[in-house]
Amino acid sequence: MADGRYTEVRPVTDNAEKMQLAKFMIYTTDVSGAGDMDDCRNRLSVLDIISKFEKNRPDLPNKPEKLTQENADMENTQSQKYLDLTDFGPVGGAKSQWRGLQTFRRKATSTRLSLALIPLTEVEGEDQEGEGEKMKKQETNREKLYKIASELLETEKAYVKRLQLLDQGFFFTLLQEARLGSFPEDVVRQIFSNISCIHQFHGGFLLPELQRRMAEWDENPRIGDVLQKVAPFLKMYGEYVKAFDRAMELINTWREKSPRFEELVLQLQKQEASANLTLQHHMLEPVQRIPRYEMLLKDYLKKLPENSADRPDAQKALDIIFEAAKHSNAAIADMVTYSCLW
């Protein structure tokens, strides 16, 4: 190395030299001779092996022990390259490249398998989401049916209280006074018509039936059969509705003619159960109740599944109630002529 440059390394072609190089690669640990065969970082690079082998050849000039900074950086870069590619450190050569290739293939295969599973997962997720939406819709529909049935029960309870006020409050009190001769008994009976029968029907039959049905709603979620069974009894409202206009006239007449009649009516209207409403307002409740049944039943049928066992009974009940509601709706329309109610 008289000109200050490295001598080009001659390719190894002789079989004896190859065998010597192979033994040297196997049994040599590091440049200083110290190290562990299992420690991959202490193994020699290809350049170190060739350089050490060439120093033992008499026909080649000796290579300097210290490399220039540029070549040292190149060697470190190449060693780091193999370290990054393999699991076993910077040993170099075809064996290391093969290990690096196998590592790359394992990682690539895992990536492909992960990507291949993504569409299936998404499809399963969409199916589960669709099933979830379907179950949610069914659950919401059941809740709506329960809400309608609960509203029917709660309004029925309030309605029975109004009927009790009319029957046991106004009717009974005025009838007792009429029997004392303060005013005609027949006038009182005409005013209240068949309110006692209506009260007994709702308080003694329909309300208990609805209460029992709601108590067992989880096992038997239906109300159409109950309403279909009681719907024929609602025809009794026809008599009450027909007598309603005449009842309003009699109330106004006898409040003017009889001070005692007026006094008793005012006393009853001031009671807590009356809620500061007039007798005429309370008497309108039975007329409004039939259209209320019709409205709730129509809403119930809209939410009821087509294949529900309760649909035939609910439809029959609605047909009967619809006919009864015609008379009530006509009576309500006539109420605008009675300014005493407003």
pLDDT at residue 70 in the model: 53
pLDDT at residue 231 in the model: 86
For the chain, how many residues are written? 342
Same-domain pairing of 39 and 184: no
For residues 245-264, give the mean pLDDT. Answer: 95
Region of poorest pLDDT, from 159-163, 192-196, 258-262, 323-327: 323-327
Torsion angle of the four alpha carbons 212, 216, 222, 224, in this order, in degrees rounded to the nearest 10 = -10
Instruction: Please tell me the total count of domains within the chain.
Output: 2
Nearest CA to 28 out of 58, 10, 48 is that of: 48
More confident residue, 331 or 18: 331
Question: Which residues span the domain enclosing 25?
Answer: 15-91
On whether residue 324 sits in a domain, the answer given is yes
Same-domain pairing of 170 and 262: yes
More confident residue, 316 or 135: 316
- What is the average pLDDT score of the chain? 74
Same-domain pairing of 83 and 169: no
pLDDT in tens, 36-86: 444 444 455 555 555 554 555 554 444 444 445 555 555 555 545 444 444
pLDDT at residue 32 in the model: 42
pLDDT at residue 151 in the model: 95
Q: Which band of pLDDT confidence, cut at 50, 70 and 90, is reported for residue 337?
A: low
On whether residue 318 sits in a domain, the answer given is yes
Same-domain pairing of 198 and 56: no
Same-domain pairing of 296 and 218: yes
pLDDT at residue 81 in the model: 47
On whether residue 114 sits in a domain, the answer given is no
pTM: 0.59
- pLDDT of 271 > 50? The answer is yes
Task: Decide which of 91, 106, 133 is a domain's last residue.
Answer: 91
Same-domain pairing of 73 and 183: no
- Percentage above 90 pLDDT, the chain: 45
Q: What sign does the CA torsion over 18, 22, 25, 27 have?
A: negative
- pLDDT of 108 > 60? The answer is no
pLDDT at residue 338 in the model: 53
Same-domain pairing of 334 and 263: yes
- pLDDT of 110 > 80? The answer is no
pLDDT in tens, 303-322: 999 999 999 999 999 998 98
pLDDT in tens, 143-193: 999 999 999 999 999 999 999 999 999 999 999 999 999 999 999 999 999
Same-domain pairing of 190 and 76: no
pLDDT at residue 41 in the model: 47
More confident residue, 82 or 243: 243
pLDDT at residue 183 in the model: 95
